[in-house]
Structure 1
Amino acid sequence: MIEYVPKIGGGYEDLDKLCEDAMRYRFKTVAVGESSVAYCKNILKGSGVNVSAGISFPFGQTTIEAKVFEAKDAIKLGADEVEYVVNIAEVKRQNEDYISKEMDAIVTECRKRNVSSKVIFENCYLSKDEIIFLCKIASKVKPDFIKTTTGFGSGGATVEDVKLMRKYASSDIKIKAAAGIHDLKTLYAMVEAGANRIGTSHAIKIIKELQAIYI
């Protein structure tokens, strides 16, 4: 399933097109900032396309309390899914108590309201051991998804990272690969590595590649 991501710095016309394209091509979700949730939700009403809200983007350096507030607000505005960025500084400190508390607080808030939760690792800044560290915490807390990257960092999803996440996260947690997925070949590689969801701003290009093969 594909999540459609808008271009950075767009206005309402870009959100209109994002939603129209998502409905036309039946993408699973549009991924937007919290302030755009209500606007997109209204356009997509009854279409079956979800709205995913980004929380603590792009650096994840806000407090747990602030992240929980953002999550609650996004859900109130109509978000069907919430994805937040972990506090990377606390990951670097191997602060298991902090990361567990942060993850549990947001996942619990989403679960209470029947909203999907996604934890963004931002792997481009992490070592393999740090990715494994997060996978093990996620395996206890049970978010719906763990996600490779925001798309704002120094690198995007890699096959190696997806394989590592799939190996160390429990099998009931899905993986979202995002950023740097520009074509069908890369999408297939991510899925083969273990990704269940793809986040990309190149979704239409990928769909047209599929259509050229099968239609």
Structure 2
Amino acid sequence: MRTMNLAGMIDHTFLKPEATEKDIVNLCHEAKQHKFATVCINPAYICTAAKLLHGSGVGVATVIGFPLGATMTEIKVQEIFAAKAHGAREVDIVINIGWAKSGNWEAVAKDITRAVEAAHCCGVTIKVIIETSLLTEEEKQKAAEIVKASGADYIKTSTGFAGGGATVEDVRNLKAWVGQSVKVKASGGIRSRETALQMVEAGADRLGTSSGVQIITV
């Protein structure tokens, strides 16, 4: 089991709309103390986090088109460039879920591919959120195939805002569908060490959670 550096697999996350600057300062302090992979925050706090984490080895991740995925592709692309300029190292972008549910997979693919191209153009790691709780099994597999074809770095289960989060079954399936070329990020509802380890065992390479300190200190 890949548990040697669980902290290094965690995106220490605080995406609530009421997040204050003090919350972000505390988040960054915890991330440095426990050596998490990144902090994952809303875009308005990228500069704050980047300054606090400079030289610490902890990255800054932010969200794009979040949490609905319904933003125009051009706006998502500009968000990615702005996030990089402000100090983000990684971006987590939501697919256009409505297009997926409509069966308009060509539009979904174009949206994701343009975002991936933008991220890689400026040296940013990109994770694509497919929002598993809103998709059927067939839709999840189709989304996974598109993410793999796009060249994205990660496929991510959930935003945590759609009434459902990561499941072991979804992580296992996503890993099977994307293979070794794309990593898997499990996110949403991961609040215990037991759950975190189950996700890793199922194939997760990164964990998105607001309970990182609790998970690694029990």
- Alignment check: 8 A CA contact 2:127 2:152 kept: yes
**What per-residue deviation string (whole Å, max 9, x for no partner) do you get for residues 162-194 of structure 1?**
111011113210000011011111011101111
Q: Look up the match of 2:59.
A: 50
2:146 alignment partner, SS class: helix
Q: Look up the match of 1:112.
A: 121
Number of equivalent positions: 209
Gaps of 5+ in 1: 210-215
| Partner of residue 174 from structure 2, selected from 148, 165, 168 | 165
| Partner of residue 214 from structure 2, selected from 200, 205, 208 | 205
1:149 alignment partner, SS class: coil
Stretches of 4+ aligned residues off by more than 6 angstroms: none
**What per-residue deviation string (whole Å, max 9, x for no partner) do you get for residues 124-183 of structure 1?**
111110100011111211100010001111111001111110111132100000110111
| Partner of residue 139 from structure 1, selected from 139, 142, 148 | 148
Following TM superposition, by how much is the alpha carbon of 1:7 offset from its aligned partner in structure 2, in angstroms? Answer: 6.0
- Equivalent-residue separation in structure 2 for 1:173 and 1:180 (angstroms): 22
Q: Look up the match of 1:31.
A: 40
Gaps of 5+ in 2: 1-8
| Partner of residue 151 from structure 1, selected from 148, 160, 183 | 160
- Equivalent-residue separation in structure 2 for 1:18 and 1:43 (angstroms): 10
Counterpart code for 1:4: H
- Equivalent-residue separation in structure 1 for 2:147 and 2:68 (angstroms): 19
Matched, 1:3 2:11: yes
- Equivalent-residue separation in structure 2 for 1:207 and 1:190 (angstroms): 14
| Partner of residue 97 from structure 1, selected from 100, 106, 113 | 106
1:15 alignment partner, SS class: helix
Following TM superposition, by how much is the alpha carbon of 1:75 offset from its aligned partner in structure 2, in angstroms? Answer: 1.0
Following TM superposition, by how much is the alpha carbon of 1:10 offset from its aligned partner in structure 2, in angstroms? Answer: 2.0
**What per-residue deviation string (whole Å, max 9, x for no partner) do you get for residues 79-101 of structure 1?**
10011110001111222221111
- Alignment check: 8 A CA contact 2:81 2:122 kept: no
1:192 alignment partner, SS class: helix
